Structure 1
Amino acid sequence: MPLTLAVISTSRIVDEFLANAAAMPEISVQALCCRPQSRPKAEAWAAQYGIPAVYTDEDACYAAGGFDAVYIGTANHLHYAAAKRALNAGYHVILEKPFVSTAAEARELFALADAKGLVLFEAITIPYMPQFAFLQQQTAKLGPISAASAVFCSHSRLYDDYCRGIVHPVFDPACQGGALGDMNIYCLHLLVGLLGMPKAAEYRPVRGENGIDVAGLALLDYGRFTATALAAKDSNSRNGMVLQGPGGYLVVDGNPNSLPAVYSLLGAQRDDCVRADGPAAPRHRMAYEFAEFARIIAAHDTAAETAARLRTMHVMELLELLRQNTADGE
């Protein structure tokens, strides 16, 4: 049986999720909950995707039930409170990235989930894709890593509004927007997932008029080498990742959130990743995280849940460190 879900928000990421949810047999969306002003959009989506119920009040949604878990895709600054409400109402939660604002908030929510006997899971694509398993296997063959870099830059469709003085949440410091949490978090998950936590870290942002980081470079000190993670919402770039060592190099060619092309070159031997479900019809990038969330709940897989939690906490702690060690060029 699929895991039944209520979805909170009518955000852009929720739009992408719903457009692809029919191809995710592991889950079934039973309810949408949104702000009152967004009800027409939610009702249109409900009709389009066959979702039985629409709510504009979370308490009413949770009281009505008919689902086992909640997917939260709200603006970043609302994540903590929304997750707390869902957990207190007795539902498993899959929470969009960036998870919450601070490591302390994350620990509090995980403790609440434990007290309630519920699963709290970060909706981050990278660790659950077959391409990532390939990257892990190949990284071990490179020998001592001597250099690493990841890049995720994409000119946001909302950046032009920002330049005209129309500030959406992703460019609003009060809503915890910015390139670090919105874009660079994928680079950080990728690098930390493959290399572990750095010894030290520093963030060098490019600031917009209201102080938001429209772009930024994270420097991750691993002692023997420094890894770089570059992200931008004001400009485009060739995106991807390169890891190198004495044994060769490893490449992600394309956006780090979807790992579209992955290969290694060890000596003269190139090895391209073959997707677990076939290159002709790959699953949508979000399918893997929802499949793992549903599997962990169904199987009561505490080991996998603990591993997922550790990944989230590592990146939350690194984000805090980067924010504390921010060099603004003053």
Structure 2
Amino acid sequence: MKRYIFFDLDGTLTDPMLGITSSVQYALAKFGISVRYLKELIPFIGPPLAQSFQQFYGFSEEQAKEAVEYYREYFSPKGIFENEIYSGIPQLLRALYDAGFELAVTTSKPRVYAERILKHFGIDEYFTLVAGSELDGTRVKKDEVIRYALDAYGIEGKKALMIGDRMHDMEGAAACGVESVGVLYGYGSREELTAAGAAHLVESVKELREFLFSQDAEKEEEDTTMVRFGFIGTGKIAENFYQANRFINGFELTAVYSRTLEKAKEFGFRKGNLAYFDNLEEFAGSNAFDAVYLASPNCCHHDQAIAMMRAGKHVICEKPLASNYEEAKEMFAVAEEEGVILMEGMRSIYTPGFQKMTEYMETLGTIRRATIQYCQYSSRYDNFKRGIIENAFNPELSNGALMDIGVYTVACMIRLFGAPKSIKASGVRLSNGVDGEGTILMEYDNMIGEAIYSKITNAAMPSQILGEDGVMLVTEMENVKDLHIKRRTVDQTIHFEQSDNILNYETAAFIKMVKTGTGWETARDITLETMKVLDEARRQMGIVFPADQKTE
């Protein structure tokens, strides 16, 4: 399965015939050459412009360079938009993007023009890279463009697929060791593409789509079986969880528990025909749901999750899973004993952006340092300063900055690099003993990790992952959408499109675990190693929860 798909632009994604030929006609007129019919200039579509002027009209290198400048006089303001997108291309790109393919445009057209065209047709969001020539003449040959894209992704040619409509696309791909697909709906003939070494030929966009997805011979049919959820907790996070998941495949809300029926019914208003409970034992024994979303205070997670699992219910629990490692270990032991799935809702590590980020990390070389930060001034801190102690700043509930948002930084570090050899933690304690912010240094064999978190300040600096060959800046590690990678020869900005409310991704992973019974071991290990780090960090900072005394 080739996951990196390189698309030519002209004649593959869009039909630029009118714009390109009109621009060429304009340029030739500057040299006193009159071309009556635009179709005579179709051979200019695809190859580098200067080369075409020399090949078809016998221009010298200097004349060809001048002709390109005249061409741009027409093309930049007008010809660029005398263009049409091929039918079915937007739908194809969307399907590939949703399926997790990495899409790039590799064109001999100047990159600035290519980016404007993609944006004009509203398809720019699907591409993580636009590789093209530069206005100064840099990188005009197709093999140079393809090699640039391979270097940007840090992959070998065998991992990519080049799709184009002209011989230059096929020849450029072959020169870089990339398998090629020739499209016959563009401007190259079957004979031209075959002679240039096209590995595959397709007649239409529909056939191209079938080819690309047929690479995955083991692609499973969509499972429409619903997992019925009961909610424990009716606060803001529970509402966000519902809104994120209400339309995803496999999710159905069927029951709600709260300490009062009034709150349960208020939460469930207009959410369907739900069952309501104010008795936890009756809720656990109900057959109205298969799985529980647990969004109660941290100190309640252990007892409530075990009660649900003893009743045969699967559990997805808001982070942190438990107050301490011993509680978490017991919870997973019960899950295995009862044959149910228990998963911590660590939203950040399940997003598509986070998964793609890990692939780009391979281009950084040996990682030597990672600084992962999550600093977000909490509106609840304003109340704290007024003497109003809400849950987030109440250590009696096993809460504080470390447990609320520091846990994200630690879990991300462990997901990326595994468990550390040792840690050193320090933090700022507030008047009631709760931690407001902190830093955890995590020691590995060949690198250093820094987990920085705060609920009493904001941060302006991104998270960073530093390798011997490059550095990656991550704008928001808790919701990876934007990366900036700096390497010796490449300076690359990458944007990922994903849901604004990212709780749907963790739920999709949980539903898959419930249906298949697989994948839970890795999630469990990340949670347990995270809890070990949190416990040791609290020990070093002198933070003790009432729940700790229950497990001693």
Give the drift of 1:286: 0.7
Q: So what's the TM-score if we normalise by structure 2?
A: 0.55
C-alpha separation in 2, matches of 1:271 and 1:117: 46
Residues 99 and 70 of structure 1: is their aligned pair in 2 closer, same or farther, counting only changes over 3 Å?
A: same
What displacement does 1:82 show?
Answer: 0.8
Match of 1:265 in 2: 486
Please tell me the residue identity of whatever aligns with 2:407.
Answer: I
Q: Does the 8 Å CA contact 1:149/1:242 hold for their aligned counterparts? A: yes
Q: Is the 8 A contact 1:204 1:327 kept in 2?
A: no
The reply to whether residue 16 of structure 1 matches residue 240 of structure 2 is: yes
Q: TM-score, normalised by structure 1?
A: 0.90
The CA RMSD over aligned residues, in Å, is 1.9
Alignment check: 8 A CA contact 1:147 1:243 kept: yes
Q: Is the 8 A contact 1:68 1:92 kept in 2?
A: yes
Instruction: State the partner residue of 2:272.
Output: 50
Equivalent position to 2:460, from 223, 227, 238: 238
Distance 2:475 2:461 in 1: 7
Q: Is the 8 A contact 1:83 1:93 kept in 2?
A: yes
Amino acid at match of 2:480: L
Structure 2: distance between partners of 1:80 and 1:300? 22
Distance 2:298 2:542 in 1: 23
Match in the other structure for 2:516: 299
Q: How far 1:265 moved relative to its partner?
A: 3.0
Q: Which residue among 406, 415, 429 is the counterpart of 1:207?
A: 429
Amino acid at match of 2:489: A
Q: 1:118 to 1:214 in 2, by over 3 A?
A: same
Deviations 1:302-322 (A, max 9, x none): xx1111111111111111121
Q: Structure 1 residues 234-243 or 197-206, which shifts more?
A: 234-243
**Which structure has the larger Rg?**
2
Equivalent residue for 2:535?
320
Residue in 1 aligned with 2:221? Answer: none
Deviation of 1:69 after TM superposition, in Å, equals 0.5
Stretch moving more, 8-17 or 266-275:
266-275
- The amino acid of 1:261's aligned partner reads D
Q: Please name the residue that 1:114 is paired with.
A: 336
Q: Separation in 2 of the partners of 1:247 and 1:274? A: 21
Letter paired with 1:243:
I
Q: Which amino acid aligns with 2:515?
A: A
In the alignment, the residues of structure 2 paired with residue 257 and residue 41 of structure 1 have an alpha-carbon distance, to the nearest angstrom, of 30
Partners of 1:29 and 1:51 within 8 A in 2: no
After the TM superposition, list the runs of 4 or more consecutive aligned residues in structure 1 that deviate by more than 6 angstroms: none
Which residue pairs with 1:134 in the alignment?
356
TM superposition shift of 1:251: 2.1
1:292 maps to amino acid:
A
Shift of 1:53: 1.7
When residues 273 and 29 of structure 1 are mapped into structure 2, their CA distance, relative to the original with a 3 A threshold, is farther
Question: Distance between the aligned counterparts of 1:58 and 1:65, measured in 2?
Answer: 13
Q: Would the aligned equivalents of 2:240 and 2:501 in 1 still touch at CA under 8 Å?
A: no
Structure 1 equivalent of residue 171 of structure 2 = none
Partner amino acid for 2:299?
H
SS in 2 for 1:325: helix
Whole-Å Cα distance in 2 between the matches of residues 158 and 287 of structure 1? 26
2:396 corresponds, among 174, 189, 205, to 174
Q: Provide the C-alpha distance between the structure 2 equivalents of 1:159 and 1:51, rounded to a whole number of angstroms.
A: 38
Q: 1:267 to 1:40 in 2, by over 3 A?
A: farther
Task: Please identify which structure carries the higher helix content.
Answer: 2
SS at match of 2:312: coil
Q: 1:131 touches 1:262 (CA, 8 Å); kept in 2?
A: no
| CA distance in 2 between partners of 1:69 and 1:29 (Å) | 10
Counterpart residue identity of residue 283, structure 2: C
TM-fit CA distance, 1:102: 1.7
Q: Deviations over 1:60-81 (max 9, x none)?
A: 2222321110110001111111
Matched to 1:17, the amino acid is F
User: Any stretches of 5+ residues in structure 1 without a counterpart?
Assistant: none
How far the C-alpha of 1:3 sits from its partner, in A, is 1.0
Distance in 2, Cα, partners of 1:66 & 1:264: 49
Question: Aligned-pair distance for 1:249?
Answer: 1.1
Contact 2:368 2:466 (C-alpha < 8 Å) held by counterparts: yes
- What does the per-residue CA deviation read over 1:83-131, in whole Å, with 9 as the maximum and x for residues that have no partner? 1111111101111101101212111111111111111111111222111
Corresponding position of 1:228: 450
Q: Secondary structure at the match of 1:48?
A: coil
Mapped contact 2:341–2:517 kept (Cα < 8 A):
no
Q: State whether residues 4 and 68 of structure 1, in contact with CA within 8 Å, keep that contact through their aligned partners in structure 2.
A: yes
Question: Could you list the per-position Cα deviations for residues 30-58 of structure 1 after superposition, in whole angstroms to 9, with x for gaps in the alignment?
Answer: 1110112xx43432221232251221111
Deviation at residue 252 of structure 1 after TM alignment: 1.4
1:290 pairs, out of 488, 491, 507, with 507
Q: Which residue of 2 aligns with 1:193?
A: 415
Q: Equivalent residue for 2:524? A: 309
The answer (yes or no) to whether the contact 2:353–2:479 under 8 Å persists in 1 is no
Equivalent position amino acid for 1:207 in 2: R
Which structure is higher in RCO with an 8 Å CA cutoff and minimum separation 6?
A: 1
1:145 has 2:360 as partner: no
Structure 2: where are the runs of 5+ without partners? 1-224, 544-552
SS in 2 for 1:158: helix
